[in-house]
């Protein structure tokens, strides 16, 4: 039986932010959900903020550290573990912490019990859908990535106003056009795993990726046991390699997997290339006192004698954090030979993570889809991405027949 409680912290849709750029900056600073480089460009180009104020905002952001969890899902999870999950029936393997609905989609924050620990999962389904045990496991990119969910308080009008303001919302957030809508529309629930290293929680320790493997393996095993069969997977960016490390190549190959923008030549190849190509840009930015790369806020947990506990939240640079997170793991996805009838690997031919692989292998297979896009496929070719998810949904339904 699931235990349920309503958390006190709520995310709003932020509709008023469209009309107040400075309020948008303040909200982004508070939520810590931005690339600092993007903030730098926004504050200087879109708001008329002078350079001194811009520099001060950047310094405050980078130096920020809080004893409170990051607002939104990270704080919801902290409340879940500190209250709902801790007080739940010791025999409960799945504990519901909170549920919210927006844009016709209901998301439920769930704690899966794994020994003395809990794995966070966000289950999202259409508001009108029944809980029939048909799940697709979602392993998002990271570190710093957010599990798939519908944001509290968002409305169709909110996204319409973004468009009216000349902004192009990412299709993942607008539930009317989200690729996941095709899966939910076929009755599937998206179970998105908040493994160690997403924006829900992080240890900030070397080789933290090993803990992510354990989280994803526990979540996949739970839903497999519930359904009596292996669930389908959607894995994105680093999520591909987390799933590979968690499940092993042979098991992954047998499952139905939509692998979106994996690093085919391996994580170490990516890290070395990224370091080599950006060394001059980084030195130049640091010499000018300007931000380099992407930064985001993490909930930092620490190990204690009694287990793992929240310590603080802090803005961290991904270009320094990611190599420490990955450690010596490589997990080259080119070694994976998917055999599931619905399995596909989707790459972008403009993606620097993909260029070398595609240049060395001009041939294609029916399981390999190459879009004219960079790493963010949905930004460059949203219609193709939605079509790929639609095909996955149709294929999974045929497999059930």
3-state secondary structure of 60: helix
Q: Does the pLDDT at position 273 exceed 70?
A: yes
Pairwise CA distance, residues 364 & 367, whole Å: 8
* Mean per-residue pLDDT, 119-145: 90
- Mean pLDDT over residues 109-119, rounded? 90
Three-state DSSP class for residue 266: coil
Q: What is the rounded (10 degree) CA torsion for 250, 251, 252, 253? A: 50
Residue-level pLDDT at 143: 87
The string over 286-298, giving b where at least 16 C-beta atoms fall within 10 Å of a residue's C-beta and e elsewhere, is eeeeebbbbbbbb
> How many CA atoms lie within 13 Å of 305's alpha carbon, on the beta-carbon side?
0
Q: Are 367 and 338 in contact (CB under 8 A)?
A: yes
What span, in angstroms and rounded, lies between the C-alpha atoms of 4 and 287?
Answer: 51
Tokens of 220: 């996949």
Q: What is the pLDDT of residues 133-167, one digit of tens each?
A: 799 999 999 888 999 999 998 999 998 988 888 88
Phi-psi region of 380 (alpha: psi -120 to 50; beta: other; left: phi over 0): alpha
Q: What is the DSSP string of 72-86?
A: THHHHHHHIIIIIHH
CA 240 to chain centre: 12
The per-residue pLDDT for range 300-347, each reduced to its tens digit, is: 988 877 778 889 998 888 888 999 999 999 999 999 999 999 999 999
Q: Please state, in angstroms and rounded to a whole number, the distance separating the CA atoms of residues 131 and 227.
A: 12
The answer to whether 327 and 356 have CB atoms below 8 angstroms apart is no
The average pLDDT across 15-34 equals: 40
State the greatest distance between any 2 C-alpha atoms of the chain, in Å, as a whole number.
Answer: 63
The CATH T-level fold of domain 15-400 is Rossmann fold (3.40.50)
Of 203, 263, 200, residue with least CA distance to 235: 263
pLDDT of residue 131: 73
Return d(Cα 373, Cα 381) in angstroms, integer.
Answer: 6
With 0.75 as the threshold, say if the pTM is over it.
Answer: yes
Q: What is the mean pLDDT of the chain?
A: 84
Q: What integer pLDDT is reported at residue 42 of this predicted model? A: 44
Tokens of 42: 């926004």
pLDDT value for 130: 72
- Quick one: pLDDT at residue 57? 72
Report pLDDT for 43: 45
User: Coil, strand or helix: which one is 328?
Assistant: coil
In percent, the amount of the chain with pLDDT more than 70 equals 85
85-89, 338-342, 358-362 — most confident range? 338-342
Q: Cβ distance 129 to 180 under 8 Å?
A: no
- The CB density around residue 327, as the number of other CB atoms within 10 Å, is 14
- Whether residue 143 is preceded by a cis peptide bond, meaning omega within 30 degrees of 0, is yes
Confidence of residue 73 (pLDDT cuts 50, 70, 90): very high
H/E segment holding residue 34: none
Q: CB–CB of 3/89 below 8 Å?
A: yes
The least confident of 58-62, 66-70, 99-103, 105-109 is 58-62
Nearest Cα residue to 379 out of 239, 112, 93, 179: 179
Helices 21-31 and 51-62: crossing angle in degrees, nearest 10, is 20
Distance CA 323, CA 87 (A): 37
Cβ count near 149 (within 10 Å): 25
Structure tokens at 373: 């896009």
Distances (CA, A) of 139 to 118, 220, 242, 337: 17, 10, 8, 19
Tokens of 108: 């439920």
pLDDT, position 2: 37
The pLDDT score that the predictor gives to residue 363 is 63
């Amino acid at each position: 039986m699931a235990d349920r409680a309503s958390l006190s912290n709520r995310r709003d849709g932020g509709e008023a932010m469209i009309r107040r750029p400075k309020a948008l900056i303040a909200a982004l600073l508070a939520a810590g959900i931005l690339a600092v480089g993007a903030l730098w460009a926004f504050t200087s180009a879109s708001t008329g903020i002078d350079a001194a104020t811009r520099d001060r905002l950047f310094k405050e952001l980078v130096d920020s550290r809080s004893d409170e969890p990051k607002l939104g899902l990270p704080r919801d999870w902290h409340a879940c573990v500190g209250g709902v999950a801790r007080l739940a029936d010791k025999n409960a393997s799945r504990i519901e912490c909170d549920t919210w609905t927006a844009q016709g989609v209901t998301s439920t924050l769930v704690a899966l019990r794994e020994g003395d620990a809990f794995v966070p999962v966000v289950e999202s389904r259409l508001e009108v859908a029944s809980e029939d045990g048909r799940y697709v496991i979602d392993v998002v990119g990271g570190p710093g990535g957010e599990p798939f969910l519908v944001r509290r308080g968002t409305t169709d009008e909110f996204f319409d106003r973004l468009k009216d303001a000349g902004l192009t919302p990412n299709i993942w957030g607008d539930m009317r056009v989200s690729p996941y809508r095709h899966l939910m529309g076929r009755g599937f629930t998206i179970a998105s795993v908040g493994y160690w290293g997403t924006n829900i929680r992080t240890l900030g320790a070397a080789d933290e990726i090993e803990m992510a493997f354990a989280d994803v393996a526990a979540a996949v095993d739970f839903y497999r046991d519930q359904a009596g069969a292996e669930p389908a997977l959607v894995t994105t960016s680093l999520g591909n390699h987390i799933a590979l490390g968690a499940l092993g190549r042979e098991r992954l190959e047998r499952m139905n997997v939509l692998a979106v923008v994996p690093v085919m030549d391996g994580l170490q190849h990516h890290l070395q290339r990224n370091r080599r190509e950006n060394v001059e840009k980084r030195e130049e930015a640091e010499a000018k006192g300007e931000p380099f790369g992407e930064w985001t806020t993490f909930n930092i947990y620490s190990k204690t004698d009694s287990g793992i506990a929240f310590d603080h939240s802090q803005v961290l640079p991904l270009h320094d954090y990611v190599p420490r997170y990955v450690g010596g793991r490589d997990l080259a996805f080119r070694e994976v030979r998917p055999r599931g009838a619905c399995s596909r690997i989707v790459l972008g031919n403009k993606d620097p993570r993909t260029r070398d692989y595609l240049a060395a292998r001009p041939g294609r297979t029916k399981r390999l889809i190459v879009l004219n896009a960079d790493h963010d496929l949905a930004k460059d070719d949203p219609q193709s991405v939605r079509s790929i998810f639609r095909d996955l949904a149709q294929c999974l339904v045929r497999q059930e027949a």
